[in-house]
C-alpha cells in the first residue's frame, strides 16, 4: 500500500491539492474592549509586575494594592483621559474587591488573573520600549 495518496485519492478524500489557488485573504482585526477597572491596570516594569503577581497569588489583592501606587509614580494605563488619582482609586477598588471576595475563592482567582494581566502588559510595554530606545 502506498503511504502517499494519488491525485484521485486526495480529491476524493476532501483534501486540497497542492496546485490549488490560495483563498482570498481577508484581514479581521479584533480589539478587546476593557472595562474601567481592567483598563486601570498600570504598565509597570517587568520585575515589578512579577512581584505583584507573586503577591496576588499568595495574598489576594496585595499585588493590586501595590500596583495602585505605581500609578502615582507615573505608570501609564489604558485610561489616558482620567486623572491619576481616579485611576489610583480604581486600582484600590479592584484590590478591595479581590480581598473581600477571596473568602469564596472568586477574589483569589480574580487576583491571580489580575497579576497575570500585569505581567502580560509589562512584557508588551518592555517590548515596545526596547523597539523605540535609541540604543
What's the confidence (pLDDT) of residue 68?
95
Q: Average pLDDT for residues 46-59, to the nearest whole number?
A: 95
Checking if the pLDDT of 9 tops 50, the result is no
Give the pLDDT band of residue 10 (cuts 50, 70, 90).
Answer: very low
Q: Domain spans of the chain?
A: 43-130
- Rounded to an integer, what distance in angstroms lies between the CA atom of residue 98 and that of residue 107? 4
| Per-residue b or e along 48-79, where b marks 16 or more CB atoms closer than 10 Å to that residue's CB | bbbbbbebbeeebbbbbbbbbebbeeebebbb
Q: What is the pLDDT of residue 16?
A: 52
Lowest mean pLDDT among 23-27, 120-124, 126-130: 126-130
Predicted pLDDT at 26: 86
State the pLDDT at residue 42: 94
pTM to 2 decimals?
Answer: 0.70
Asked whether residue 89 carries a pLDDT value surpassing 80, the answer given is yes
Q: Alpha-carbon distance 86 to 128, whole Å? A: 26
d(CA 71, CA 62): 15
For residue 103, the model assigns a pLDDT of: 92
Amino acid at each position: 500500500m502506498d503511504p502517499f495518496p494519488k491525485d484521485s485519492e486526495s480529491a476524493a478524500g476532501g483534501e486540497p491539492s497542492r496546485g490549488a489557488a490560495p483563498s482570498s485573504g481577508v484581514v479581521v482585526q479584533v480589539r478587546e474592549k476593557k472595562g474601567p477597572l481592567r483598563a486601570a491596570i498600570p504598565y509597570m516594569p517587568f520585575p515589578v509586575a512579577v512581584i505583584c503577581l507573586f503577591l496576588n497569588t499568595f495574598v489576594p489583592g496585595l499585588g493590586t494594592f501595590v500596583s495602585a501606587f505605581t500609578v502615582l509614580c507615573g505608570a501609564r494605563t489604558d485610561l489616558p483621559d482620567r486623572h491619576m488619582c481616579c485611576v489610583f482609586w480604581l486600582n484600590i477598588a479592584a484590590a478591595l474587591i479581590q480581598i473581600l471576595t477571596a473568602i469564596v475563592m472568586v477574589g483569589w482567582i480574580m487576583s491571580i488573573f489580575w497579576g497575570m494581566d500585569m505581567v502580560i502588559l509589562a512584557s508588551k510595554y518592555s517590548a515596545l520600549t526596547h523597539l523605540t530606545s535609541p540604543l
